[in-house]
Structure 1
Amino acid sequence: MNTTYKIGFSLVLALLLFPARAADIGAGKARASACMGCHGSAGVSNSGMFPSLAGQSSAYLETQLKHFRAGERANATMNAMAKDLKDADIQNLAAYYAGLPGKSAGGDANLARTGQEKAAMCMGCHGNNLQGNGQFPKLAGQHPEYTGKQLTDFKSGARKAGQMNAIAKTLSEDDIKALAEYIGSLKNP
């Protein structure tokens, strides 16, 4: 038996013995009861301090929950909430929130017009309407306060994410405010 054949056979055998597990949205909804105080009963936060999770991609949500669980993304509350989550819990939560409809947070119309001019730099990763793109989160409709804080944290280095740190360093406080208002004003289907 040649090496290529052995590797291929081993991969097929592994896939048959360990099939991918589909997410259980019902289990995710049940587990999400602990999240509702901050992220809202339907994944839409009522507070500008916390992000809305409704409609985010499951890939993005899974990645962030794993970062919180591992302590790679620092937030005392989220680190504590995620520390005991198993991979299946994370997958179920992500599937539940990804399937919920989002809602626009709104934003100051005057600042939003200014922010729209700056948003082109965001579209390469986050999509033309800032609706997200795989591992890159949906920004559309997020609370301006939350978005502004995240951009400020990226700028200062308090939140680490390579290219986001570099981009945020180019933004003034006024740019951050305008972008956050524009992002909040976008429709979030």
Structure 2
Amino acid sequence: MTGMDTRTPLDFLLTRRSVPVRMLSAPTPDDATLRQLLTAAARVPDHGKLVPFRFAVLRKPAVDRLARVTQDIGTAQGRDPDKLVKQAQAFLDAPMTVAVICTPRPDTPIPLVEQEQTAALACLSLVNAAEAAGFGGHWLTGWMARDRDFLQAALGLEPPELVAGFVHLGTPRGEPPARPRPDPDAITQWIET
């Protein structure tokens, strides 16, 4: 672990970067640290206080199993073999993964889209908490996040549950590459009246 981040909160948000999964390695957060990261990740806006998500912590053997399930189910479904290799490799490269599982409640007046957004915010919060604690994280989805066959075989999920994100965690090996960021002026409209 490289240690706690010392940037100011705003500087942290202005400069944060996800670490590509291939650049993550052991050590991963220990159980006590991971509990802190999950506590931070759970502090997200949540209309109706439904907590429409839960976490599944996947240690290395379980993550490797997800790689095999990705390859097996994707092949059986006729998915692009080259893409399957890349998708399975992301699991193989990950030293630890937290599946953020969206657990929507259709029996409430809170729109499902808002419940899914809350689960997605937990993914981003987990990546940010990991970086703030000196680790690295990367949030991925892919077809596996919503495919019923994969969700059942890999995680035992039943409808309406799905995966908001697979958050891969570890220690960064080097500085993550810079990537272009949007120009706020190009994507912002100022409305006065």
TM-score normalised according to structure 1 size: 0.26
If asked which structure has higher relative contact order (CA below 8 Å, sep 6+), I would say 2
**Structure with greater Cα Rg:** 1
Task: Point out the structure with the larger helix share.
Answer: 1
Greater fraction strand: 2
